[in-house]
Amino acid sequence: MLTLEQIEVHLSYMRPDLEAANAALPVLRDKLDALSEKLDSKIDQANRERIASDEALAEKIDQANRDRIASDEALAEKIDQANKERIAGDAALGAKIDQLSAKVDAKIDATNARIDVTNESVAKLDKTVNGINSKLNALLLLVTGLITVVSFFITVGKAVGWF
């Protein structure tokens, strides 16, 4: 255990250091306040710069959005125009198809009419050919019969002595 005198001796050794620390305390406080002000100033400046940067970035984003919206509107207008042109082209193409279909139908009808006329002519020719064929067959039969009769008479005539 320490005696009271020993404690006082230790305190007497510590007292000058404590007084020096107390004397330096206001200077340290001033330096700490200055550093705090400087740090606050730098933080405030950084915040102002960040805010300005955020505002500039927000303006760039807004401008990019405005540009995108304008581009989207222009693209939508182009698409609408292309659709209108396609619809008009489809209508014109439909009209051409209808017109060509009518021409083809007319040509097919005319061809069918000519085929019908040709079929009728072929049928008439067939009847005529059949009539001629029948007459030729009859003539052939008559000539063959006549040749047979003549041959018969010649043969009989030679046999009987007429020739």
Chain segment 6-57, per-residue pLDDT in tens: 888 887 888 888 888 888 888 888 899 999 999 999 999 999 999 999 999 9
**Percent of the chain having pLDDT more than 90?**
55
How far is it, in rounded angstroms, from Cα 34 to Cα 21?
Answer: 19
Q: How many CB atoms lie within 10 A of CB 153?
A: 13
